[in-house]
Amino acid sequence: MPRPLLPKAKEITDIARSLRAEGFNAICIETDPDGRVSIIIGESGVQGSVTPLEKWKTSRGAA
């Protein structure tokens, strides 16, 4: 049985970069040995104590 093709690191990086550009901050990308790729997107749990300035910086990708 041939080995399944796994995604290349550049492809994974491009996916993560695209998701961050769309505003998703909590991203988990997992690859399984059988070739399956799982992308889990979630919200960060610290939304309650974040100032408006920090929200703005986060939305722009600034530090």
Q: pLDDT tens digit string along 7-49?
A: 888 988 898 888 888 888 888 888 888 878 888 887 654 455 6
Q: pLDDT tens digit string along 43-62?
A: 654 455 667 887 788 777 76
Of the two residues 63 and 34, the one the predictor is more confident about is: 34
Residue type, position 40, single letter: I
Q: What separation in angstroms does the CA of 2 have from each of 5, 6, 36?
A: 9, 12, 15
Q: Annotate 2-59 with DSSP letters as a single string.
A: PPPPPPPHHHHHHHHHHHHHTT--EEEEEE-TTS-EEEEEE--TTGGG--HHHHHHHH
**What is the pTM assigned to this prediction?**
0.55
